[in-house]
Structure 1
Amino acid sequence: MKKIIFALSMLGTLFTSCSDDFLEKEPFGELTDQQVVLPENIEPLVISAYSILNGQGNEASNAFNSPASNWSFGDVLSDDAYKGGGGTGDQNQIHRMEIYTTDSQIKDVEQKWSVLYEGVNRANTVLKALKNTTEFDEGTKNQRIAEMHFLRGHFYFELKKIYNRISFIDEDGNYFSNTMITPEEVWGKIEDDFNAAFNVLPETQTDPGRPTKWAAKAYLCKTYIFQQKWTEANAAADEVITNGGYSLMSNFNEVFLPENDNGPEVVFAIQYSINDGSPSNYNGSIGDRLMPPGGPRYPQYGFLRPSQNLVNAYKTNALGAPLLDNIDVTATDNVDPRLDIVVGRPGVPYKDLGINYEENWARDLATYGPYGPKKRVISANDPNYLPSWPYVTAANYYIIRYADVLLWKAEAAIALGNLEEGRTYINLIRERAQNGAYIQNLDGTADAANYLIATYDTPFNSPEAAVTALRTERRLEMAHEGHRFFDLVRWGIAAEVINTYLEKEKIERGYLTGAAFVEGKHEYMPIPQGQIDSGGTDDNGKPLTTQNPGY
């Protein structure tokens, strides 16, 4: 079996509503407190907690409003991507996010919050049931408890990085609104979940969809990185690198092929599948279904369009180092070979289709420019691609891959003053890009562009140079994986980078005129208004849940 399938369809018998006379009768289709602790009912509850990882929280096909990949929250809000689609009115609420006029009633703000808290709720439901059961195999019980701590840690991590001032509820029903618990205390709760998972989870899993001990340690490392706990992050990264058994694949392009989506580089992934009997193939990459780039083989949804700024970031100088001049790439420029793996560029072959990507593939070319997404789009020839509505794939989304861990190690080392150690780990990433297979022209006789990349072969001459190299490498390696905006925020440079980006982009992308990032506000999404309205008040009549600054 390729992967564990977390089906949504089987959950109907667990969560259907009861009739009007439910006070007199045992609810049909619901589980009583006595039933919920039975082993045959707990395992479906476990599956339900995994199933919502994909962001699909209802019976509609709109998980693109709460995508697990965070393409809208992490890429479009950054300097890496435009919203795309059929103009600014197509999914206008994402357009408003892109130009930083978000408010607390935007659908994506509300739905992402709702889906993530539903994940918390499902994990808590399992944890409570496992605490109260006496009939579950002890070893399996402990492992499922650890898995639910891992999942709950993930859901809270996502909430924390997107909304910052979040509420917390545990499996015992203890509730702390965002005026009762600080963001720092929430970080501590997340650390507790990943530590609890690490202490119990096995080093390997038969089902690749379940987290391992080293996935928990890697996520703990990420939690430390976001808090700038450099000593702890450095030690956690070392443990994963030494003990996890992970490795970089030799070719960057192959990392994102479906046959490798539980490969040696994948630390933890959301498992997708198609043609498995689920309604409307909702177990596929439903949150990314607007990503197909158009052209002769794909529907022309055309969302997540690479920015000119991102394309320019892949330029290299005569020595193969990043140029970072933000001058538009020309056909004669040297470029990092990862560019044509991440971005569909006119005149460059697209996947294994035997055709070049052309600018007329791009939907609304005048608004969003000529480039298309490529990195996480799979070949239309691949059986893991569904060539009919909703055009989803079975290619997993990687929450953490080994390149993340290596770059976190480099970042922590540099922050601790170990610039040479940081350079070593950055170079591991660049060596893979340098030595891997390059995209060829259609007849296979030459490289498709002037690819040139080199490692950093001399020591960094200052901490600032090391930080620049690290941050550049993370952008080039992780582009369009939903991380860029959150990196800018945690580095404290979001306002500077994004406003500089907008200044030039407005010249070519006129729809960005008027966009401005406000420091101290736009680093986080607003708390959904519905949550504030329903959050209750204290004894003095003051809201228990309050809005983020600036909204």
Structure 2
Amino acid sequence: MKLIRITQYTLALAFIFQSLSCSDDYLEETTYGEVAPAEMTNPENVERAIISAYSVLNGQFDTASNAFNSPDSNWSFGDVVSDDAYKGGGGTGDQNNIHQMEIFNTNPTIIDVERKWMALYEGVKRCNEALKLLKASEAFDANLKVQRLAELHFLRGHYYFELKKIYNHIPYIDESAITVEDYARSNTEFTSEELWAKIEANFQTAYEGLPETQSEAGRPTKIAAKAYLTKCYLFQKKWQQAFDASTEVMESNYGLLDDFQEVFLPENDNSKEIIFAVQHTINDGQASNYNGSIGDRLSAPGGPFYAQYGFHRPSQNLVNAYKTNTNGLPVANNNTDLSDEDLIDPRLDITVGRPGIPYKDLGILYEESWARDLATYGPYGPKKRIVSANSAFYVKVWPYVNALNYYIIRYAEVVLWRAEAAVELNNLEESRQLVNQIRGRAANTATVKKLEGTEDAANYNIATYESVWTDQELAREAVHLETRLELAMEGHRFFNLVRWGKASSVINSYLEVEKTRRSHLMNAQFKAGTNEYWPIPQRYIDGTPKDLVTQNTGY
């Protein structure tokens, strides 16, 4: 059960130090004008402020319906600009802003660049305001105050982590900010190393104050903070620290679910595999179901059960990556398109909607006619994070959202992070065993069956690595590939390519082949030294004193 009810207008204080737009919905809540200054530090009002810091985790921070331009899942920022997915939709003119991102023609005025920045800094601001109120509250329970302070540091660490991996050079503002002007800060005030140190410090503070378990789903635990620290170290190539930090996570009560497919069922949203997630809910009284998966609402795949928005479409390259050989191991060259006779990893048909393969539990085969603008974006559709239209967790009317949480960190990721660190530390045998945990789970997962329910829907064949790994580079590639296969369509691929230092080579090689398949990519070209990060929004630059903000290289 999801106990934290995330709402956009829960906070009675409404971020009192800064102006916010209002809506009709806001009239149903207590406005700032109705809260006396002396009451702002009352425990119940402080708790509302803390909940407000959680409430923008899903990317919805105002009354607009376009959280798909600032999605918590990063489907456009992490998948569409990688070799895993195409934009999709009704051609290149439909959300042309994301098309420009896909072909690496991004500019500082694109709405996604602006709204993602705004959503994340709104989260930072809410954390800062809640921290000030919490510290000033004399009536707040002393023991609970320690935990809530830790939660806010965790959330602020998350928002800054996202900002760092997307924009790289960012302003860092803490709770000492009081006025609007305090948020107009230079993005080069701190070096990259100093920014990482500040982000780490947030998670370290969180780790020291968080409990082992939480009674309310959606609040972070001590292990969640340690896992996020592991991720911070990984992004900085601090391999020994990443490996050491992952130990506590591996020895915790978190673990892999037995079946890969069950991980992505809403009823299992807060299972032992989910270390931290954005809590999505529907039919909870929030207008337009904005507490649901509002950032992913354009992913509806069409067909007889779903709206035909048709965005976030798996690439041919991704589909080909799931081919296996007779030994059940990945095939090295994936430029040859998958055929019906090929052996495949069973995770493919859990991750991707493919023609002729049953879709979810709907008793129907996915057909290429479901795919909007088939000629441009090909026949495949998203599947892993699409909720069955039969489910009570799916809204069948606009805005077609669901209550499947977005998993910021799941245990399988930590296993792969540890495997990656082990490779870099030249502990190849441990890395192999860790990768085999992931592949072993995939091998034991219930396969997709034909409609009659007895035979496999395709030639599934997967096995673990039985031969000892002796070549570090080959081991590294195996871990990187396993990371792609396990986490596909979850918004991570592009950021992994960047931190691995191979974004330019992988994406340009991908584009060279994809241009022969997909004409919309003809003008796409990844520019090394520029396209690893997004530009600083022009609106932020224009709204700060002259020369205070430095634009990222190449924009």
User: TM-score scaled by structure 1?
Assistant: 0.96
Match of 1:239 in 2: 248
CA drift at 1:133: 1.6
- With 126-135 and 214-223 compared, the bigger mean Cα shift is at 126-135
Q: Deviations over 1:135-171 (max 9, x none)?
A: 1100111111000000000000000000000000010
- With 393-402 and 321-330 compared, the bigger mean Cα shift is at 321-330
Decide whether the 8 Å contact of 1:14 with 1:30 is kept in 2. no
Counterpart Cα distance in 2 of 1:238 and 1:13? 41
Within 5 Å, give how 1:307-346 maps onto structure 2: 307-326=315-334, 327-346=336-355
Corresponding residue SS for 1:10: coil
The one-letter code of the counterpart of 1:280 is: S
Decide whether the 8 Å contact of 2:2 with 2:279 is kept in 1. no
Change in Cα spacing, 1:12 to 1:293, as seen in structure 2 (3 Å) is farther
CA drift at 1:179: 2.1
Corresponding residue SS for 1:546: coil
Instruction: Give 1:79's match in structure 2, choosing from 76, 83, 89.
Output: 83
Counterpart Cα distance in 1 of 2:464 and 2:118? 44
The one-letter code of the counterpart of 2:265 is: L
Instruction: Give 2:300's match in structure 1, choosing from 252, 274, 292.
Output: 292
1:422 aligns with 2:426: no
Decide whether the 8 Å contact of 2:188 with 2:550 is kept in 1. yes
1:100 aligns with 2:104: yes
Corresponding residue SS for 1:44: helix
Within 5 Å, give how 1:155-194 maps onto structure 2: 155-173=159-177, 177-194=186-203
Corresponding residue SS for 2:318: helix
CA drift at 1:10: 2.9
Decide whether the 8 Å contact of 2:12 with 2:49 is kept in 1. no
The one-letter code of the counterpart of 2:393 is: N
Match of 1:467 in 2: 476
Change in Cα spacing, 1:207 to 1:264, as seen in structure 2 (3 Å) is same
Match of 1:258 in 2: 266
> Between Structure 1 and Structure 2, how many residues are aligned?
538
Match of 2:14 in 1: 14
Counterpart Cα distance in 2 of 1:286 and 1:546? 32
Counterpart Cα distance in 1 of 2:532 and 2:3? 36
Match of 1:360 in 2: 369
Decide whether the 8 Å contact of 1:14 with 1:29 is kept in 2. no
Decide whether the 8 Å contact of 1:127 with 1:171 is kept in 2. yes
1:202 aligns with 2:211: yes
Match of 1:24 in 2: none
Instruction: Give 2:506's match in structure 1, choosing from 492, 497, 510.
Output: 497
CA drift at 1:394: 0.6
Corresponding residue SS for 2:10: helix
Moved over 6 A (4+): none
Match of 2:309 in 1: 301
Q: Deviations over 1:275-294 (max 9, x none)?
A: 00001110000000001100
Counterpart Cα distance in 1 of 2:93 and 2:3? 38
The one-letter code of the counterpart of 1:224 is: Y
Decide whether the 8 Å contact of 2:428 with 2:470 is kept in 1. no
CA drift at 1:15: 5.3
CA drift at 1:339: 0.3
The one-letter code of the counterpart of 2:89 is: G
CA RMSD of aligned residues (A): 1.5
Counterpart Cα distance in 1 of 2:36 and 2:426? 57
Counterpart Cα distance in 2 of 1:488 and 1:452? 27
CA drift at 1:34: 3.1
Instruction: Give 1:59's match in structure 2, choosing from 41, 47, 63.
Output: 63
Counterpart Cα distance in 2 of 1:12 and 1:138? 22
Counterpart Cα distance in 2 of 1:29 and 1:394? 34
CA drift at 1:128: 1.1
Counterpart Cα distance in 1 of 2:427 and 2:262? 32
Q: Deviations over 1:317-339 (max 9, x none)?
A: 11111003121000000000000
Which structure 2 residue ranges, 5 or more long, are not aligned?
A: 21-30
% identity of equivalent residues: 62
Corresponding residue SS for 1:400: strand
Decide whether the 8 Å contact of 1:35 with 1:41 is kept in 2. yes
Q: Deviations over 1:423-457 (max 9, x none)?
A: 01000000000111111010012100000011110
Corresponding residue SS for 2:441: helix
Decide whether the 8 Å contact of 2:218 with 2:277 is kept in 1. yes
Corresponding residue SS for 2:389: coil
Match of 2:114 in 1: 110
Counterpart Cα distance in 2 of 1:140 and 1:292? 41
CA drift at 1:516: 0.1
The one-letter code of the counterpart of 1:458 is: S
Decide whether the 8 Å contact of 1:315 with 1:329 is kept in 2. yes
CA drift at 1:13: 6.5
Corresponding residue SS for 2:298: coil
Instruction: Give 2:538's match in structure 1, choosing from 529, 532, 548.
Output: 529
Counterpart Cα distance in 1 of 2:493 and 2:34? 42
Counterpart Cα distance in 1 of 2:41 and 2:5? 23
Match of 1:23 in 2: none
Counterpart Cα distance in 2 of 1:11 and 1:130? 14
Match of 2:28 in 1: none
The one-letter code of the counterpart of 1:14 is: A
User: TM-score scaled by structure 2?
Assistant: 0.95
Counterpart Cα distance in 2 of 1:522 and 1:138? 47
Match of 1:48 in 2: 52
Change in Cα spacing, 1:32 to 1:521, as seen in structure 2 (3 Å) is farther
Counterpart Cα distance in 1 of 2:134 and 2:38? 12
Counterpart Cα distance in 1 of 2:166 and 2:204? 22
Counterpart Cα distance in 2 of 1:2 and 1:79? 34
Change in Cα spacing, 1:28 to 1:259, as seen in structure 2 (3 Å) is closer
Decide whether the 8 Å contact of 1:166 with 1:183 is kept in 2. no
Match of 1:540 in 2: none
Q: Deviations over 1:220-265 (max 9, x none)?
A: 00000000000110001011111x2011111100000001010010
1:130 aligns with 2:139: no
Q: Deviations over 1:170-199 (max 9, x none)?
A: 101276521211121110000000000000
Q: Deviations over 1:470-503 (max 9, x none)?
A: 0000000000000000000000000000000000
Counterpart Cα distance in 2 of 1:433 and 1:497? 25
Counterpart Cα distance in 2 of 1:394 and 1:3? 13
The one-letter code of the counterpart of 2:306 is: Y
Counterpart Cα distance in 1 of 2:462 and 2:120? 40
Instruction: Give 2:290's match in structure 1, choosing from 279, 282, 285.
Output: 282
